[in-house]
Amino acid sequence: MAASNQHQQKDQTVDIHAVWLDAHVYDNEDNKKAQKQLSKNFGRCRLFTSTKECQQVIDQCLGDTTFVLIVSGQLGSEFVPKIHENPRYSSIYVYCQNIEAHKKWAYGYSKVRCFLILYVFIIVLFI
């Protein structure tokens, strides 16, 4: 099933954008490939390297835009507890190398949908 960047909800269109928060989001070609695919699927993929900047930009967005968050395990442990109750975030995907370590902090956050260890999973998940 293809990911859509718009949802029909009570006769209103809701825009869904991808947000990728990772201190190393710009560091390699694999991430760039995944970003390109996310931009195709969501119309927009916003990239952030700091939690503060990410939250400021999301807070300033107007309208009914909702966000799918892809976050590194390291920044996720700090950021997810702060934003989990925010209805603008529809789901959270943790991109990490050590799933067992990050499951510990993510346990109990219902919006955390899965853990991704390879960029290709990001591409496949949102096709």
Residue 1 lies in a domain: no
Residue 104 lies in a domain: yes
Residue 32 lies in a domain: yes
* Residue ranges with strand state E in the chain: 6-9, 12-21, 45-48, 66-72, 89-95, 112-116
Buried/exposed code over 90-117 (b: 16+ C-beta within 10 A; e: otherwise): eebbbbbeeeeebeebbeebebbeebbe
Share of the chain above pLDDT 90, in %: 39
* Domain hosting residue 68, numbered range: 6-125
Q: pLDDT tens for residues 6-60?
A: 444 444 556 888 899 999 999 988 888 888 888 888 878 899 999 999 999 988 8
Interior CA angle at 123 toward 33 and 120, to 5°?
Answer: 80
Residue 86 lies in a domain: yes
- CATH number of the domain that residue 73 is part of: 3.40.50.2300
Q: pLDDT tens for residues 73-83?
A: 999 999 999 99
Q: Assess whether pLDDT exceeds 60 at residue 126.
A: no
Place of tokens 């209103």: 12
Residue 74 lies in a domain: yes
Q: Is the pTM of this model over 0.85?
A: no
Residue 65: both structure tokens together: 């835009």
Residue 25 lies in a domain: yes
Give the number of domains in the chain: 1
